[in-house]
Homo-oligomer: A and B are copies of this chain.
Amino acid sequence: MHILIIGAAGMIGRKLTHRILADRRVSDREITRLTLADVVDPAVPPGAATAIETRAADLSLPGVAESLVAARPDLIFHLAGIVSGEAEANFAKGYRVNLDGTHLLFEAIRAEAARAPYRPRLVFTSSIAVFGAPFPARIGDEFFTTPLTSYGTQKAIGELLLADYSRRGFFDGLGIRLPTICIRPGKPNAAASGFFSNILREPLIGREAVLPVSESVRHWFASPRAAIGFLIHAATLDLGRVGPRRNLNLPGLSATVGEEIEALRRVAGDKAASLIRREADPVIERIVSGWATDFDARRALALGFRAETSFDEIIRAHIEDELGENI
């Protein structure tokens, strides 16, 4: 089986690569070839037994999608895209990369399928940004997509294209709306959502972190480990069980910042929790107040997708996966 990961250099792409190389198979199919693509050359993990090639290329430029698809990968993970803040700051770039890039990929698959029978599985990472406030306290599987960002708009359009190209038989697509990933590994960043991870990741290694919102703020989370589980499950799921509605709210954990902190206290003690410094930021408070707080993801749950059910689990997964089980 030949797997293509587009957006392989990002956090999720790198973790997915490691998981695939460790498993050496997806479901019952052995992985014989892995292609890693991104705008920057993705790093090849050392010592991999599988044949790996890397491609540094921008999917939104002419010919790139065709060249990636020419080798007829059996399974394509489309994780590439520019993030919400950048898509909002640079309108044209967001549409070029997130919309045109996705459409060019789908068209390249259609063109390849026109040459000779070809119908890969395609897994597309969408986002809960396809929803825009106001919404119900719990967003159900049939709630409408009225995004309030250009990024959310581009993801919602990608979902529509994915469903139509799948319906027409050009590929077997599944779009998965990832919850906010927490705990994001790495350094604190300036994203408005960064604090959700910062206030756990930093205290776990003895560093201070800033909490810019009140403890009552509620949001929707899954760990990086759960996200990789979603991608692998989406790659192997029987699509006959999914039907024509190919874009799913995934399960996650609805929790408040206060619940995050209590879990940190339980797992890592009072000293860790005391490293969180409250410093209200009205701008971030306002942005976050427009975000979804909870989902009723019953379709995805019935299809076998699983996420953590407590922040204790999310923190323990981080300690195991990122800190070598040491705190």
Contact = CB atoms under 8 A, between A and B. Distances in A.
A146 B132 contact: no
A245 interface: yes
Contact of A147 (B147, B148, B156, B160): B160
B147 A164 contact: yes
How many chain copies?
A: 2
A265 to B, nearest CB: 39
A150 interface: yes
A160 B161 CA distance: 12
A244 B144 contact: no
B167 A163 contact: no
A153 B168 CA distance: 12
Interface in A119-165: 132, 142-148, 150, 153, 156-157, 160-161, 163-164
A188 B231 CA distance: 50
A93 to B, nearest CB: 14
A245 B131 CA distance: 11
A189 B185 CA distance: 61
Contact of A150 (B91, B168, B245): B168
Given A143-B142, A144-B144, A145-B145, A156 B160 contact: yes
A150 to B, nearest CB: 6
B168 A163 contact: no
B146 A144 contact: no
Contacts of A146: 163, 244-245
Contacts of A132: 244-245
A153 B160 contact: yes
Given A132-B244, A132-B245, A144-B144, 19 more contacts: A91-B110, A91-B168, A142-B143, A142-B144, A144-B145, A145-B145, A145-B160, A146-B163, A146-B244, A146-B245, A147-B163, A147-B164, A148-B167, A148-B244, A150-B168, A153-B161, A153-B164, A156-B160, A157-B160
Interface of A: 91, 110, 132, 142-148, 150, 153, 156-157, 160-161, 163-164, 167-168, 244-245
